Amino acid sequence: YQAEASQGMLQATYEYQSLICQLFQMDVCNASLYDGATALAEAVILAHKVNHRKKVLLVKSVHPEYGQVLTTYIKKTLGLSIIEIDCQNGVTDLAQLKEKISNHTSCVIVQNPNFFGCLEEVNEIEEITHQSGSIYIVSVDPISLGLLIAPGEYNADIAVGEGQVLGNELNFGGPCLGIFTCKREFLRKIPGRIVGETTDKEGRRGFVLTLQTREQHIRRERATSNICTNQALNALRAAMYLSTLGEKGLPKVANLCLQKSHYAAKRIHQIPGFEPTFTSPFFK
């Protein structure tokens, strides 16, 4: 069984995957998932399938709704335990992370910029995570990558994000776009669909859905993931947005977000009775 789609849609999805891989500096990107929260949950499921460990370390600076979705996905179905890591000055408490991580830890989850907008010590967290043999999962704001280093540059194993900000409109809470990227070594285990480039028997360039098992479509209980669809139209719009902005346009958007956020924080601080909760560097 081989599910297919029109060549136009397949090529558009292929271009989306290529652009996201370039933006995130990761090896592989799938054709998209539902939203950032489910992409994070799928990342944890993948990590468990790779190392079969039962403990998940979740930093409290990750969006709380992401944590709720994660709990729904994994706690009862996979029997994994979620251990929360406290924050200090709006970012991960590295001392507590070192204390709680072990060779039973499947993965460590951080968000950068995090729920408070603060910038995490991503390199230090990477070192702590990989010393225990755990998988490093990062949720990022795609716009921030116009200024910040990409997940692939600090050796993240899996990087996910919410792609609604990439040219998609927010209408009564949706629709959203789940971005999912990872290292090449996880290629055969990732959820969702992948579009690949090939040539037909006459040597013409073409695109196909590739590297999928039959179970992905017809045997849900044995599939790598239960998701059999994607947010194709939102992914298409994200590809159009990134292509239109280009390598110079996205940093301008990111810098505008940064400057406006710091301006707002400065003006609020000038109002009597208001003080910043954290002093850590922040993006927005």
**CATH classification of the domain holding 31:** 3.40.640.10
Residue 78 is predicted with a pLDDT of: 87
Nearest to 206 by CA among 193, 197, 214, 215: 197
Tell me, yes or no, whether 33 lies in a domain.
Answer: yes
**Percentage of the chain modeled with pLDDT above 90:** 79
Q: In a 10 Å sphere around its CB, with 0-12 CB exposed, 13-18 middle and 19+ buried, how is residue 41 labelled?
A: buried
Nearest to 224 by CA among 250, 257, 191, 176: 191
Residue 97 is predicted with a pLDDT of: 98
Distance CA 260, CA 43 (A): 32
Q: What is the DSSP letter of 276?
A: -
Residue 215 is predicted with a pLDDT of: 56
As beta bridge partners, residue 83 has 57
Which residues span the domain enclosing 159?
Answer: 7-269
Provide CB contacts within 8 A for 251, sequence distance 6+: 146, 147
98 three-class SS = helix
Strands 195-199 and 205-209: antiparallel
Tell me, yes or no, whether 262 lies in a domain.
Answer: yes
Distance CA 106, CA 102 (A): 9
Residue 214 is predicted with a pLDDT of: 56
Q: How many domains does the chain have?
A: 1
Tell me, yes or no, whether 283 lies in a domain.
Answer: no
pLDDT in tens, the chain (284 residues): 455 678 899 999 999 999 999 999 999 999 999 999 999 999 999 999 999 999 999 999 999 999 999 999 888 788 899 999 999 999 999 999 999 999 999 999 999 999 999 999 999 999 999 999 999 999 999 999 999 999 999 999 999 999 999 999 888 877 899 999 999 999 989 998 899 999 988 999 999 888 776 556 666 666 667 676 789 999 999 999 999 999 999 999 999 999 999 999 999 999 999 999 999 999 98
Q: Decide if 156 contacts 137 (C-beta within 8 A).
A: yes
Tell me, yes or no, whether 277 lies in a domain.
Answer: no
Nearest to 233 by CA among 187, 169, 144: 169
30 three-class SS = coil
Token pair, residue 135, equals 């998988």
Distance CA 26, CA 55 (A): 25
Tell me, yes or no, whether 156 lies in a domain.
Answer: yes
Residue 26, phi then psi, degrees to nearest 5:
-115, 165
Tell me, yes or no, whether 208 lies in a domain.
Answer: yes
Residue 217 is predicted with a pLDDT of: 60
Residue 85 is predicted with a pLDDT of: 98
The residue assigned the tokens 């969006």 is: 63
